[in-house]
Structure 1
Amino acid sequence: MPMALLLSSPPRPSLRRVTRWSAASLSPRASLPSPRRVGLAVAAASWDGAGRWRVETTTTRARAAARAGASGEGGDGEVEGGGGTGIAAAAAATVVLAVMNRVLYKLALVPMRNYPFFLAQATTFGYVIVYFSILFIRYHAGIVTKEMLALPKSRFMLIGLLEALGVASGMAAAAMLPGPSIPVLSQLILSVLILGRKYRANQIFGCLLVTAGVILAVASGANSGPFLSDVKLFWPAVLMASSACHAGASIIKEFVFIDGAKRLKGKRPDIFVVNSFGSGFQALFVFLLLPFLSNLKGIPLAELPAYINRGAACFLNIGGNLKDCHGAPLLPLLFIAMNMAFNISVLNLVKMSTALVASLTATLAVPLSIYVLSLPLPYIPGGTNLSTSFLVGAAILVLGLLLYNLPKKLAGRMKTD
């Protein structure tokens, strides 16, 4: 980078004096890194306004950027991905994929209504094959490095364990509480405790509004009876624990990206490294929990092989009960492909911003999905009318998102006013 001399600045040393000083700083006694260690480190000299020249190398700038990325600094999590514009585009794509994922899941359950447990296990174990295949291709293409593959596997094991426990407890307490509201608060708390991140008052209040909006929208848009009526306190607590497990897994994924930037000298791990190993350990723990999970769904362990055979036949739409599985295998395959794209999009948003931002973004899809599912759809004829409280809840949710993403300067101005 060339030396910049501003003609309108206060008296400065001459160019000859600066040149002599720069040459002297490169003497053997100087504490600058050797060219052999850092390659060609280009020096940028700038006038600091106090009568001194400040020399900075590209190496020191890269190290500072790596430290900022590893510590989670640099704005509200915008450490990579083209700043606010790139994060906004990734968030918009995540919302669209989240809505399509929820809608296609409902459509996939039309042919698989008798085999939802098979569909869940098919996605869990199928992702391992797909993710590792993509990882293999990206490794041979040079996108994934050996250093990325050498990252500590204990964190991926913990991610898989938390995801498996979240699935198990979520199945046990399904439909007892509007679960999408819980990960927002869980991730807010865990990011403070684990990552040491600090949040402004408007961000905390925004998360509370998002939670309240989701509860109101889901309770009014999905339930016809009183909210949580005749539900014992044990099952909501179990579902909260399930959501906390998923939130903890997301926070650890964010930590893997932050710590990986430190280990990889400023370059964050590829998302398929995190997805592949996390999904692999999740599949392992789900396999170990299969007896427990099958009993939860009313399937004795002795009957599990026969259930899997019938589920596979329905998934592929082969056998004698073709009318019962109308829509397969198209709808289940569309759901699996969309769910995979959604998971990749969410993890990419975590890599670009934070786990909490990704969770808030995905939460926006909850009222949008309920609205889409209220319309007449193929295989789901007839629509439903949404109540006024659903619209109020959706409006509160959007208000919370806007408040969370309020610019820092504007938030400070509102606080002082």
Structure 2
Amino acid sequence: MGSPPVATAAASAAVVALAVANRVLYKLALVPLKAYPFFLAQLTTFGYVAVYFSILYARYRAGVVTRDMLALPKRRFIAIGLLEALGVASGMSAAAMLPGPAIPILSQSFLLWQLIFSALLLGRTYSVRRIIGCLLVTSGVILAVASGANEGQFLSKVQLIWPALMITSSAFQAGASILKEAVFIDGAKRLKGKRPDIFVVNSFGSGFQALFVFLLLPFLSNLRGIKFAELPGYLNGGAECFLNVGESPIDCGGAPFLPLLFIVVNMAFNISLLNLVKRSSALVASLTSTSAVPISIYILSLPLPYIPHGAELSTSFIIGAVVLLMGLILYNLPQSWSRRLKAD
């Protein structure tokens, strides 16, 4: 059951706008919380559970969410939560050992994993045109992001296990996104054509993710260089900096406004992304949000509040952005146009 093209286009535009705002605000939120990135990660993970379930309860009381939606089998939600928690754990492990520019580059394997899992788990088939479009998008982002890397082999001194682990992290996240799409497809069959409300998927998925993150907390804190015994003190310091209270030795200027603004926008982005998955597919949603990467890099190169120094963009960044745009156009080219081009 597809959505009208206009509605899908509007949902896609919302995803791009919120994806750009999300990336830019994440960078700004880490200005006051630069010493507490792990605190911000845990705050978003556990805070969203309370918010999502509160919204879910309100929608249930309003009749938007039905008992049948809440009664959907939970095994897929458990798998989604486990995969997303493993994605966080493996991603943090790899990120601690990789140079900065390598992280977003290796993360672009997410799209390729989605193609594979979509074919294996959902039985989807893709035309050569769409596969090439997807590869062009990935290549464009790599070109754009790699333009900021130092010249030379910046992975030459890194053990192979860490890039492999970052790619594995992307596989976990891609698997979770395809399972979310499967929940909508299977839910429509169980609910006689009506797809599950996005807050059912968001709430239960986030709930199980938080559960598995909690179980992995000693491991995750060690990855950030925080001993488990030191974790309460670290979280307390993060809370004081977030609220901008107490006598923190670190300048927490910009808090709590910037972190709160990031949390609100990040939540809106996640909701809009899942809405697009519901309307189209997980792969289309990922391609749409990926297009925000070069736009975000461009905005972050400009002088911003709390980040007054800008940066000069290279030629490879411009080329990468053009390649990405070509890939998006090729992937989203209507079937009728595709046939007409072949005929010509």
Specify the SS of the correspondent of 2:108. helix
Highest RCO, 1 vs 2 (Cα 8 Å, sep ≥ 6): 2
Q: 2:33 aligns with which of 107, 112, 115?
A: 112
Paired AA for residue 409 in structure 1 = S
Mapped partners of 2:151, 2:93: distance in 1 = 21
Does the 8 Å CA contact 2:80/2:180 hold for their aligned counterparts?
yes
Mapped partners of 2:250, 2:235: distance in 1 = 19
Q: Does 1:354 align with 2:281?
A: yes
Paired AA for residue 129 in structure 2 = N
Q: CA deviation at 1:411?
A: 1.3
The 3 A distance-change label for structure 1 pair 227 and 336 is farther
User: Which protein shows a greater Rg?
Assistant: 1
Does the 8 Å CA contact 2:111/2:286 hold for their aligned counterparts?
yes
Paired AA for residue 120 in structure 1 = A
Q: 2:330 aligns with which of 399, 403, 412?
A: 403
Q: Does 1:383 align with 2:304?
A: no
Q: 1:147 aligns with which of 49, 68, 89?
A: 68
- How high is the sequence identity, in percent, across the aligned residues? 68
With normalisation by structure 1, the TM-score equals 0.79
Which aligned pairs between 1:156-171 and structure 2 lie closer than 5 A? 156-171=77-92
Q: 2:150 aligns with which of 224, 229, 237?
A: 224
Does the 8 Å CA contact 1:180/1:214 hold for their aligned counterparts?
no
Does the 8 Å CA contact 2:237/2:248 hold for their aligned counterparts?
no
Mapped partners of 1:255, 1:413: distance in 2 = 33
Does the 8 Å CA contact 2:12/2:285 hold for their aligned counterparts?
yes
Gaps of at least 5 residues in structure 1 are 1-68, 70-78
Per-residue CA deviations over 1:3-56 (Å, capped at 9, x if unaligned) read xxxxxxxxxxxxxxxxxxxxxxxxxxxxxxxxxxxxxxxxxxxxxxxxxxxxxx
The list of structure 1 runs, each at least 4 consecutive aligned residues, that deviate by more than 6 angstroms after superposition, is none
Structure 1 counterpart of 2:224 = 297
Q: Does 1:337 align with 2:264?
A: yes
Mapped partners of 1:172, 1:387: distance in 2 = 30
Paired AA for residue 290 in structure 2 = T
Specify the SS of the correspondent of 1:381. coil
How many residues are paired up? Answer: 337
Paired AA for residue 408 in structure 1 = Q
Does the 8 Å CA contact 1:180/1:366 hold for their aligned counterparts?
no
Structure 1 counterpart of 2:10 = 89
Paired AA for residue 405 in structure 1 = N
Q: Decide which moves more: 232-241 or 106-115.
A: 232-241
Q: CA deviation at 1:321?
A: 2.2
Does the 8 Å CA contact 1:216/1:390 hold for their aligned counterparts?
yes
Structure 2 counterpart of 1:208 = 135
Does the 8 Å CA contact 1:184/1:360 hold for their aligned counterparts?
yes
Which aligned pairs between 1:217-366 and structure 2 lie closer than 5 A? 217-220=144-147, 222-226=148-152, 228-230=154-156, 231-321=158-248, 324-366=251-293
Does the 8 Å CA contact 2:48/2:206 hold for their aligned counterparts?
yes
Structure 2 counterpart of 1:58 = none
Mapped partners of 1:233, 1:86: distance in 2 = 44
Q: CA deviation at 1:235?
A: 1.2
Q: CA deviation at 1:225?
A: 3.8
Mapped partners of 1:388, 1:149: distance in 2 = 51
Gaps of at least 5 residues in structure 2 are none
Per-residue CA deviations over 1:142-167 (Å, capped at 9, x if unaligned) read 00000000000010000000100111
Specify the SS of the correspondent of 2:65. coil
* Structure with more helix by fraction: 2
Q: CA deviation at 1:322?
A: 7.0
Q: CA deviation at 1:407?
A: 1.1
Mapped partners of 2:262, 2:107: distance in 1 = 19
Which aligned pairs between 1:60-79 and structure 2 lie closer than 5 A? 69=1, 79=2
Does the 8 Å CA contact 2:107/2:166 hold for their aligned counterparts?
no
Q: Does 1:127 align with 2:54?
A: no
